[in-house]
Every structure is written in C-alpha cells, then in structure tokens.
C-alpha cells in the first residue's frame, strides 16, 4: 500500500504533488507528506491524517519548489505518527518516499547505526534514506548511490529520491511495487499509478522489476535489473479524468455502485465481440484451455468471493473440477499441484501481494498455466500470467470493491462457458442462451439499483445493531458472504454469512430479537430449503430481511420484511443480487456516519502480507 508521486518541472510542483496524493489516497490515508528542493534546503511538510491536512500545512508554510516527492501512507512499520510519515530524510541531504516493505531493514538499521546514522522513525524506509546517503557521500552520482543502495535491499519497493545538491535530478526504482514514469513537456513525473499525474500527462512508461530511473526535466534514463540500458514502451493512458471525479455523487462507493450497468455492459461487450472463445483470454488460450484437467482459483477478500461463485459455474457448466482458496493461506501450505490445473488469480488491483505470491508459489509447485482476471492493465499479476481477462470496470476508488466484483463475475462466467465449449459441454443453443443472459444483465442490474429507496428505509434499522447475519444457498451463498463483508468493512457492524442450511449446526445459537438476518432468496432450486431455514430463524425471534424475486412468493409478515428483486435471471442471478447487499452496506454506513470511501484501518491496494 502507500502511494508515491514525484515531479521535476520548470513550475512549482507542490500543486502537482498534492493533487497526485489526493488521487493516490485510496492506497493509504494514515498520513501524508511532501518534500521539495527549495533553494539551499530540502523542505518537508508531513501530517498525520488525510492529504487535505497536509495540503493546508504546506500552504501555511508557503512550500514551493521545482523538484519534489510526495507520499500517502498506510502504516506498516511504526505507528501513525508524524515522525513515521514520509518523506524520510538523511542529514537533510537526501529525501526518500517509499511504497513497499524492506525485509532486511533491521539488519540494515544495525549496520547503519554502526556507521553513525541516527534514526528518527520506526519505519523500514528510513534505512533507504541513510543507505542512499551513505553511498552518495562517498562520491559519484545520486543515480549510482540509489543503484548501490537498492541492490542491498530485500523486499518490495517503489521509491522516489531527491538530493539537496541535485536540483535537476529525480531518481526512482522499482521492485515488487508498481511505479510508472510520466512524460511531460519539459517536465517529468513518477507515480504509483497513472491517476496521480493524469492532469499533467497521459504518456507513461511502466517500470519493470529491478528498473532504476533518472528523470531530468528533459529526459528519462532507465536501466534494468542487470544494469543494462532499458528501453520501455511508452503507453498512452486511456483513464479519463472524469472517471476519477465524484460528479453528482456523495461518495465514490455510491458512484461505483451506480456505474455497474455501464461497467457490466463494457465488460460484456468484450465477451460479445469475441464470443465464448479462447481468444477472449489471450493468444495462448486456444492451446492451453483444451489441455486442462481442473481449475484452481486464488484470491483474497471480495475477489475470493467472486472465485467461490465461479466454482459453481465452472463445475456445473464446464464439468471440470474447480477449487478456490484464499491466497494468503495457500502460499504457506504444502499444497498438491496438478500441472494441468489452470491457476486463476482474481484481483481488482492486480498488485495484491498475497495473490501475487500465491501465483508464484503455484508455479513453483508445478502449475503450468496461469490466468489473471484483473481490472488494472499492465499491473503485476496479469503480467506474471500466461492468460488474462481484463474487466472493464474503470477506476475503482472506494476502498470497498463493488463494480470490480460484479465485472469479475462476468469474466469468470465467460471462463466457465468457454471451458464448457472447449470440453463439448456447451451446445450452440446453450451458448446463445448464455449470451442472451449476459445481454439482459445490465438491465436487471439497473432494475436492482432502483430498489435503493426501499433499502435505505431498511438501513435505519440496521444502523442501531451490533451484529447481523447473512444467509444464502448455492450460488447465492458467496453473495451472502460478500454482503457481510461489505457491511462490516464500511459500517463496522459485526456481520457473518452462512449457507442457510448450516445455521442449525451452530450459528442459530446467536439468533434472538436483536439479530437482523438478511436472506438472499431468489426463486431457484434451493428456495424451499431456504424457506425452512427462515422458519428456524423466525421461531427464535430473529428479524428477517429478505431479498426475493417476485417468483419466490414471499410476503411481508410480522418480523419478515421483503424487498422484491428483479425477475430471476438464471445463472447470473448472483450478480443481480449483489446490488442490494452493496446498497444496504452503503446506507447503513451513511446512517452510522462512518467514512464510506476510506474505512478505518484499510486501504484499497494491499501490497503487504
Ligand atoms: C473488500 C475488498 C477487498 C479486496 C481484497 C483483494 O471490499 O475490496 O477484500 O477484494 O483486498 O483485492 P484485489 O482484488 O485488488 O486483489
């Protein structure tokens, strides 16, 4: 986590850094800081809290400069304090911002202490500042000092470095964390992601692992991990500035919930263009997919729940074994690997460390092929995969994932049907039906969004509760899990989800009149079972809040509240039923006055273990 930005220009870079940090705040929002070269000193402003606080302080202190770096932090090493906020400096001569974790920081700290360096913070980053200083003061260029220093670091980093006596140089390096260079006109930039510099330029170079860069106002020099000059392609970013603005919405989460019909249409368009054909997943897919004997899905959080949903589709539509595992668990167990099981990683950001490491581990264990379902182009996980399906959700800024989840489901559904076709399990008629189902999906999702006033009315009741239970069965059980995660994540109400049939095996003991129980109960094969499970809840005084389509024939009664969801849309029903649970969490959080887009203790991009 953490976001970094840097700029070298012929104009004041402080506004560029501040705007960049605001866009990167999704990566962490514990503290923020900038350092600029101002005349004969490096001036630094840091504040605990949001970028806006630091911005105010920078204005008060009249901070300006033509070269600078900035950082927004999600605390790992050391508490949320100003001394731990970046940039970190060494003898007021070197300033560094860092995203990532230096694993050998303790060893380096002891060594640097022995060399006379004093530490002001508890961070791992301060060792980078001192190490660069150590090599720089021995003579040579800043670039070489960064090169020597980084070659001694183990762990993950994206860094930006400036030096007091180098007003014309901004040095950066990348290993394991995202970093790009933005190319301007007489000015250049670095950033964790393109959103940070979009107002200045769209021309970007994505650094590769081990790259080190030297930026001046007029040029960029890069070397690769083997110290060889590196020529990296220049991309023209198609991220729109409007997609990064709130527009008429109060929160990004609200905006992103409402963007789902469009995000889904855009993602479905890719499927319609290619059909359910291997080409949808990349050139090598036509050769890889027919060889498969199974699928192994690895992911975290909401993306893991997308994987759980996919298991139902892949096994029932493609008739092939599929297992789904939490990436952070998988990577530490002696797992059995069948080389012919396709590893599918699901990650909105494409840089979740646990998922990335799980992918590497799966490769080590012998899995021959990997497919990434991802929302961020050129991010680390798809780049480490043989095949990729990019969801077209657009930038997701709210920390709680919404449109990324539903579009991941489209990608996974397309995978299930494509595998089914390859394996001769999906007829031409089935295929036409699935395409038709997809075509109708954005409309059903729009219909679900229209339920907002009713859901808002429910939210007041939830806002005063300490706990909630979510129930679903079959394909809708992962959606119950997702509903519970959304609620706890942004409203801080403790929520759990169970397959409804599991209630009587333990969790029923929790049910009393204070326990709201949300049930996802569309008219599917398990409906009658769900109805029996609901009786069990009602008999213990639990209050039921049921999302049921018209065909389910539920009626309001004492302690049973019902919202009618859109007509059951077959196998895609989990996507439609995600919308109400997202809106419920959003409105409950609003009632409780929590920070919906930036819930406490979390960050959007989880690049630490
Ligand atoms: C919850 C949420 C997280 C992410 C998880 C994985 O709303 O967003 O649980 O799903 O951190 O992130 P990605 O998908 O970026 O790998």
Q: In the 8-state DSSP scheme, what is residue 243?
A: G
| 123 Cβ closer than 6 Å to some ligand 1 atom | no
Q: How far is ligand 1, taken at its centre, from the CA of residue 58, in Å?
A: 33
pLDDT tens digit sequence for 385-424? 999 999 999 999 999 999 999 999 999 999 999 999 999 9
Mean pLDDT across the stretch 134-152?
97
* Residue 28 predicted with pLDDT over 70: yes
Query: Considering only 27-36, 333-342, 564-573, which range has the smallest mean pLDDT?
Result: 564-573
| 348 Cβ closer than 6 Å to some ligand 1 atom | yes
Query: Considering only 308-312, 554-558, 585-589, which range has the smallest mean pLDDT?
Result: 554-558
Residue 302 CA: nearest ligand 1 atom is 10
Q: What is the pLDDT of residue 317?
A: 98
Which three-class secondary structure string do you get for 286-328? HHHHHHCCEEEEEECHHHHHHHHHHHHHHHHHHCCEEEEEEHH
| 347 Cβ closer than 6 Å to some ligand 1 atom | yes
Strand partners, 116: none
Tell me what the pLDDT averaged over the chain comes to. 94
Q: How far is ligand 1, taken at its centre, from the CA of residue 38, in Å?
A: 40
pLDDT tens digit sequence for 433-461? 999 999 999 999 999 999 999 999 999 99
| 400 Cβ closer than 6 Å to some ligand 1 atom | yes
Q: What is the share, in percent, of the chain residues with pLDDT greater than 70?
A: 100
| 401 Cβ closer than 6 Å to some ligand 1 atom | yes
Say whether 604 is catalytic. Answer: yes
| 301 Cβ closer than 6 Å to some ligand 1 atom | yes
- Provide CB contacts within 8 A for 140, sequence distance 6+: none
CA distances from 518 to 358, 468, 480, 507, 562 (A): 33, 8, 8, 14, 10
CA-CA distance, 2 to 17, in Å (whole number)? 14
* Residue 156 predicted with pLDDT over 70: yes
> Ligand 1, residues 74, 257, 300, 589: which to mutate, most atoms within 8 A of Cβ?
300
3-state secondary structure of 109: helix
- Provide CB contacts within 8 A for 481, sequence distance 6+: 305, 308, 470, 472, 497
| 280 Cβ closer than 6 Å to some ligand 1 atom | no
Q: How far is ligand 1, taken at its centre, from the CA of residue 604, in Å?
A: 7
User: pLDDT confidence of 11, banded at 50, 70, 90?
Assistant: very high
| 402 Cβ closer than 6 Å to some ligand 1 atom | no
3-state secondary structure of 562: strand
CA-CA distance, 112 to 127, in Å (whole number)? 8
CA-CA distance, 159 to 180, in Å (whole number)? 11
The one catalytic residue in 147, 311, 421, 604 is: 604
* Residue 567 predicted with pLDDT over 80: no
| 99 Cβ closer than 6 Å to some ligand 1 atom | no
> Ligand 1, residues 1, 28, 301: which to mutate, most atoms within 8 A of Cβ?
301
| 307 Cβ closer than 6 Å to some ligand 1 atom | no
pLDDT tens digit sequence for 191-235? 999 999 999 999 999 999 999 999 999 999 999 999 999 999 999
Q: How far is ligand 1, taken at its centre, from the CA of residue 348, in Å?
A: 7
Residue nearest ligand 1's atom 10 by CA: 302
User: pLDDT confidence of 274, banded at 50, 70, 90?
Assistant: confident
Residue nearest ligand 1's atom 5 by CA: 301
3-state secondary structure of 538: helix
Residue nearest ligand 1's atom 11 by CA: 301
Mean pLDDT across the stretch 90-115?
95
Domains detected in the chain:
2-244 (3.60.20.10), 252-440 (3.40.50.10490), 452-592 (3.40.50.10490)
CA-CA distance, 563 to 541, in Å (whole number)? 20
Q: How far is ligand 1, taken at its centre, from the CA of residue 421, in Å?
A: 30
User: pLDDT confidence of 568, banded at 50, 70, 90?
Assistant: low
Query: Considering only 250-259, 278-287, 397-406, 554-563, which range has the smallest mean pLDDT?
Result: 554-563
Tokens matching residue 153? 């670091």
| 489 Cβ closer than 6 Å to some ligand 1 atom | yes
Say whether 172 is catalytic. Answer: no
| 495 Cβ closer than 6 Å to some ligand 1 atom | no
Q: How far is ligand 1, taken at its centre, from the CA of residue 302, in Å?
A: 5
The one catalytic residue in 2, 172, 300, 322 is: 2
Query: Considering only 35-39, 136-140, 144-148, 534-538, which range has the smallest mean pLDDT?
Result: 534-538
* Residue 566 predicted with pLDDT over 90: no
Mean pLDDT across the stretch 108-118?
96
Q: What is the pLDDT of residue 532?
A: 84
Q: How far is ligand 1, taken at its centre, from the CA of residue 349, in Å?
A: 8
Q: How far is ligand 1, taken at its centre, from the CA of residue 127, in Å?
A: 30
| 302 Cβ closer than 6 Å to some ligand 1 atom | yes
**What is the distance between the terminal CA atoms of the chain, rounded to a whole angstrom?**
10
C-alpha closest to that of 372 among 394, 356, 387: 387
* Residue 106 predicted with pLDDT over 90: yes
Q: State the CB neighbour count (10 A cutoff) for residue 144.
A: 16
Q: How far is ligand 1, taken at its centre, from the CA of residue 299, in Å?
A: 8
Q: How far is ligand 1, taken at its centre, from the CA of residue 92, in Å?
A: 38
Residue nearest ligand 1's atom 9 by CA: 301
| 297 Cβ closer than 6 Å to some ligand 1 atom | no
């Amino acid at each position: 986590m953490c976001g970094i930005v840097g700029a070298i220009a012929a104009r004041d870079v402080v506004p560029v850094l501040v705007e960049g940090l605001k866009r990167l705040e999704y990566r962490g929002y514990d503290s923020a800081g900038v350092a600029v070269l101002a005349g004969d000193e490096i001036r630094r402003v840091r504040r605990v809290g949001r970028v806006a606080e630091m911005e105010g302080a920078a204005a008060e202190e009249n901070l300006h400069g033509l070269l600078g770096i900035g950082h927004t932090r999600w605390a790992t090493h050391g508490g949320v304090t100003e001394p731990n906020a970046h940039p970190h400096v060494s003898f007021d001569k070197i300033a560094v911002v860092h995203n990532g974790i230096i694993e050998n920081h303790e060893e380096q700290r002891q060594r640097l202490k022995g060399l006379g360096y004093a530490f002001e913070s508890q961070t791992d980053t301060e060792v980078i500042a001192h190490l660069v200083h150590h090599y720089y003061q021995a003579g040579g260029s800043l670039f070489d000092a960064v090169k020597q220093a980084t070659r001694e670091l183990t762990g993950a980093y994206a860094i930006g470095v400036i030096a007091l006596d180098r007003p014309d140089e901004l040095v950066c390096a990348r290993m394991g964390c995202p970093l790009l260079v933005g190319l301007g006109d007489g000015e250049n930039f670095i950033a964790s992601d393109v959103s940070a510099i979009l107002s200045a330029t769209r021309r970007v170079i994505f650094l590769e692992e081990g790259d080190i860069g030297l930026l001046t106002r007029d040029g960029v020099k890069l070397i690769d991990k083997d110290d060889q000059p590196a020529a990296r392609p220049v991309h023209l970013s198609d991220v729109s500035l409007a997609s990064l603005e709130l527009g008429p919405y109060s929160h990004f989460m609200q905006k992103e919930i409402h963007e789902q019909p469009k995000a889904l249409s855009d993602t479905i368009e890719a499927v319609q263009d290619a059909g359910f054909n291997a080409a949808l997943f990349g050139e090598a897919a036509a050769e890889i997919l027919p060889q498969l004997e199974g699928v192994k899905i690895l992911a975290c959080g909401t993306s893991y729940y997308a994987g759980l949903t996919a298991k139902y589709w892949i096994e029932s539509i493609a008739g092939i074994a599929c297992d789904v595992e939490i990436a952070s668990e998988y990577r530490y167990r002696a797992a059995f690997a069948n080389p012919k099981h396709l590893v599918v990683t699901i990650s909105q950001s494409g840089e979740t460390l646990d998922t990335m490491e799980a992918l590497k581990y799966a490769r080590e264990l012998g899995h021959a092929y990997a497919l990434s379902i991802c929302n961020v182009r050129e991010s680390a996980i798809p780049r480490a995969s043989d095949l990729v399906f990019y969801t077209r959700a657009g930038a997701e800024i709210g920390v709680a994932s919404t449109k990324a989840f539903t579009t991941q489901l489209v990608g996974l559904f397309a995978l299930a049907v494509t595998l089914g076709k390859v394996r001769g399990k999906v007829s031409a008629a089935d295929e036409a039906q699935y395409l038709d189902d997809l075509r109708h999906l954005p409309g059903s999702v729009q219909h679900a969004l229209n339920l907002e006033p009713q859901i808002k009315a429910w939210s007041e009741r939830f806002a005063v509760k300490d706990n909630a239970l979510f129930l679903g069965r079959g394909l809708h059980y992962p959606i119950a899990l997702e509903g519970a995660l959304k609620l706890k994540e942004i409203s801080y109400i403790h929520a759990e989800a169970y397959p409804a049939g599991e209630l009587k095996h333990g969790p029923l003991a929790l049910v009393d009149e204070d326990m709201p129980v949300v049930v996802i109960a569309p008219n599917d094969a398990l409906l009658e079972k769900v109805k029996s499970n609901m009786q069990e809840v009602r008999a213990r005084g639990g209050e039921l809040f049921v999302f049921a389509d018209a065909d389910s024939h539920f009626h309001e009664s004492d302690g049973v509240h019902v919202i009618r969801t859109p007509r059951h849309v077959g196998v895609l029903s989990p996507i439609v039923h995600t919308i109400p649970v997202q809106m419920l969490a959003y409105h409950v959080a609003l009632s409780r006055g929590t920070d919906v887009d930036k819930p406490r203790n979390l960050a959007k991009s989880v690049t630490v273990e």
